[in-house]
Amino acid sequence: MQLMKRLLIMIGSIVLGLQISGITGLTAGNTSSTSAKATQSNDIGFSVAAKIPANQIDQHNSYFDLKMTPGRQQQIQTTIYNVTNAEIKVQTAIHTAYTNGNGIIEYVTPTKHYDPSLKYRMDQITKVQGPTTVTIPANGSKVVTATVKMPQATFNGVLLGGWYFKRVTNKVTGSVKGSMNIANQYSYVIGMKYTTGSVPAPQLKLDTITAGMQNYRRGVFPQLRNVTAVIVPKLTVTAKLTSKNSNKVIKTFSQKNVQLAPNSVYKVPILTGNSRLQAGTYHVHLVAKNKDHRWSFDKDFVISTATAEKYNKASVDNSGINVGWFILFGALAMLIVGLIGFLLFFWIRKRRRA
């Protein structure tokens, strides 16, 4: 029964992934951006553009890349363009950037937990003025304003976040028993990067190591912390998990192009796959490096019997199902069903003409 529930969850995730549109965004550490104004063919129905202020560090960047000073207050603005023939509603919010479980800087989905080294959050020093949901007239535009209040204390480094915009769809007024109502969500995010004082050299630390799960897959998760107010880009992270009881290498891990947000933590996913978690003492050797820096860490930790049993029982790895093959077979099945429907349509049409 538990296996069936997990399979249903995976199936639902795949179906939602096929039906919900992807998010168009921007990484503040790069120079890519949302378009200034979408065309009539824009399926999202709206676009956004930053109104670049005078204290922009690089005028070529179309996100907010601002030079700030302690105690500075200013207003920043974005323009929302409606490219449809009907008025729309757009919800807006300021988010603080962090490093997600894939080793990517996240601007879209807020987190509930921030690294203790983060002194000032973007969503606390930048506030949207007026209603957070605005109405934009058909084929029109509206300017939205936010107020920035920098802390009075001296601060060296980078504050990072995103100005998030999501089109509000009409609520589903009814439902059919046993069915699933799916609403598309369309959104943009404009990066926000405030630099004040001098930018410090990055400093990484290896914090606690715990057993756990990611996407229902069991593993071990060393917490790699960026404790400085600076983006750490293009890291290659490698790790080796060894049993202290047997000196056997249990699992190795390697990932390229990891991006760490300022003052954030990356839970490095050393997934154990078909190898069940065993109670005991373990050692992790972890290296993080880019072209300018290299960090090496070694740390012991313990997995208890209760913890091992908990994640072994809950993991989908027990099923022996390869999710990649599962997705491939699902796509093939959808293709076959579509082909059968196509042939059936022409067969019925031919019968009617006969």
The answer to whether residue 42 is domain-embedded is yes
The answer to whether residue 330 is domain-embedded is no
Which pLDDT tens digit goes with each residue over 170-195?
554 444 444 444 456 678 999 999 99
Which pLDDT tens digit goes with each residue over 43-96?
689 999 999 999 999 999 999 999 999 999 999 999 999 999 999 999 999 999
Which pLDDT tens digit goes with each residue over 8-56?
434 333 333 322 222 233 433 332 333 333 333 356 899 999 999 999 9
118 and 164 share a domain?
Answer: yes
The residue-averaged pLDDT of 113-140 equals: 96
Quote the pLDDT of residue 7.
40
Give which of 265, 269, 244 is closest to 255, Cα–Cα: 269
190 and 209 share a domain?
Answer: no
The answer to whether residue 70 is domain-embedded is yes
128 and 242 share a domain?
Answer: no
CATH code assigned at 102: 2.60.40.10
The answer to whether residue 11 is domain-embedded is no
What domain range includes position 305? 204-319
327 pLDDT higher than 90: no
161 and 59 share a domain?
Answer: yes
222 and 130 share a domain?
Answer: no
What global pTM score does this model have? Answer: 0.76
Whole-angstrom Cα distance, residue 161 to residue 229?
Answer: 12
209 and 306 share a domain?
Answer: yes
Count of alpha carbons within 13 angstroms of residue 347, beta-carbon side: 6
Quote the pLDDT of residue 341.
64
208 and 311 share a domain?
Answer: yes
The answer to whether residue 38 is domain-embedded is yes
The answer to whether residue 32 is domain-embedded is yes
Percent of the chain with pLDDT over 70: 75
The answer to whether residue 50 is domain-embedded is yes
45 and 146 share a domain?
Answer: yes
217 and 305 share a domain?
Answer: yes
The residue-averaged pLDDT of 135-150 equals: 97
Number of folded domains that form the chain: 2
Structure tokens at 32: 């890519």
Quote the pLDDT of residue 21.
27
147 and 210 share a domain?
Answer: no
157 and 276 share a domain?
Answer: no
The answer to whether residue 255 is domain-embedded is yes
